[in-house]
Amino acid sequence: MRNRLVAGQTGFSIVETVVALALMIILIMAAIPFVLDSVSALQLSGDAQNIASELQLAKFKASSQSTPFRVAFDIPAHTFTLQKLVGQSYHDEGGPIALASTSLYIKTPASVPSGAPSTMSSNIRFNSHGMPIDNNGAPTANNGIYLGLSSNASCAIIVPISGRVQIWWFDGSQWSMP
C-alpha cells in the first residue's frame, strides 16, 4: 500500500527540514565534550586498574617464586613492564604495557593522599616474600605512581607496607578511596 497525500495535505518544507537538522547538529556538538570527558575518565580508570593488577601480579609472583620482582615505569613512553630479578639485573616478563590514551600522563600532583609518597616511583619492587622494598632492599611504604588527565582528574596507585595495592581518586579538592 502506498501512502499518498490527499488534496490539502502537505509534508515538511525544505526550510523546516533544514531547521530541524541544524538543531540536531547543535545538540550533538554540545554533547561531544561530555562524551570525550567520559571516555578519558574511563581510560584513566582502566589504566589505574591495569597498573594495580600488574603490581598485585608482581607481588604474588615474588612470593610464589621466592624471587624479587618489580614493575618498572617508562614515564616518557607512557608504559610499564613487569620484570624479574635474574642474577644482578631485572629482565622483562613480557612486553611493555601502554597506557590507554596519550591524553593521560604520569605526574606528581600538588597534593597526595594521606600517608602516600609525595614523589613518584620509577619502579615498584617486591622482595622474595612479596613485601614492597626500596632500591636498597629495605621494606618501604614509599611506593606510588600517579596518573592524570589534562583536566583536574587524577588518581594514585599506592603500595603501602602491607603490600595491598590501593587506588585513590582526586576530584579536584580531596582524595578518596572507593
Q: What grid cell was written down for 101?
A: 590514551
Predicted pLDDT of residue 8: 65
The residue count for the chain: 178
Q: Does residue 34 sit in helix, strand or coil?
A: helix
Exposed, middle or buried, 44 (CB in 10 Å: 0-12/13-18/19+)? buried
Predicted pLDDT of residue 11: 77
Beta strands in 21-165 (DSSP E): 69-74, 79-86, 89-92, 97-98, 105-106, 123-126, 132-133, 143-148, 154-159
Q: Does residue 109 sit in helix, strand or coil?
A: coil
d(CA 34, CA 60): 39
pLDDT per residue as tens, the chain (178 positions): 566 656 666 778 888 899 999 999 998 888 887 777 777 778 888 899 999 999 999 999 999 999 999 999 887 888 899 999 999 999 999 899 998 865 455 666 677 777 777 777 888 999 999 999 988 889 988 888 888 775 555 888 888 887 689 998 887 778 888 7
pTM: predicted TM-score of the whole model, two decimal places: 0.78
Predicted pLDDT of residue 40: 78
d(CA 25, CA 29): 6
